[in-house]
Structure 1
Amino acid sequence: MARKTPNTWPSPRPEAEPLVCALCQRETPTLTEHHLMPISQGRRKGIKVQDLPSVGLCAACHNYVHTTFSNADLAGFYGTLEALQDHEGVQKFVNWVKKQPIGKAVKVK
């Protein structure tokens, strides 16, 4: 006679918390890692890559940051999330991108 055991396969997956972009605060299925101090600048200062501070950004915000600022600017003036958020151009972009659906491909100039 077969044993009566509850069917536990496949095991239920816990609900994952939604990922949220650090700049625009939109929920997104994936985030990209943005190093607040660019890797190239950190290496020049002797900092290991794993020790560089980073935040999770959606693809649109990450693309905007890297098309707007040079690595030298990011390392010197915008090395914190607060400094990025205080920049007028970033604020305008974030206000606009919040209104866009997360699946929309955003083109950044």
Structure 2
Amino acid sequence: MEPESTRIHIVLLGMPTMLREIVRTVIEEAPEMDVIAVLPSGDLRQALDLDPDVLISGGDEADAFLKERCAARAIAISDDGRTATLCEMRPHRESLAELSAERLAEVIRGAR
């Protein structure tokens, strides 16, 4: 078993039962991944409290999760105070098209 710091912690949120079980099987076959919680739709607060490395959700809950967790802004002002830069972390959405077990595991590994 891998050290805890290198494991990928995953929360499944608001997924239909059959889909959730398929996804869970894929994750359980990857030795470095753990499903730390399976939550019903709408339980976003608990998902945020668990602070997973990856959230896999049904519907649009992934967008809400990212808005709560990653919508950060920082303003960097130059030493002379004349210029500044706004830095933002924003949700990013990319179609994964046809999803296979191998592709799902690859995407989870890359999301960390």
TM bucket normalised to smaller = under 0.3
More strand by share: 2
TM-score, length-scaled by structure 2: 0.25
Which TM-score applies when normalising by structure 1?
0.25
Question: Quick check: which has more Rg, 1 or 2?
Answer: 1
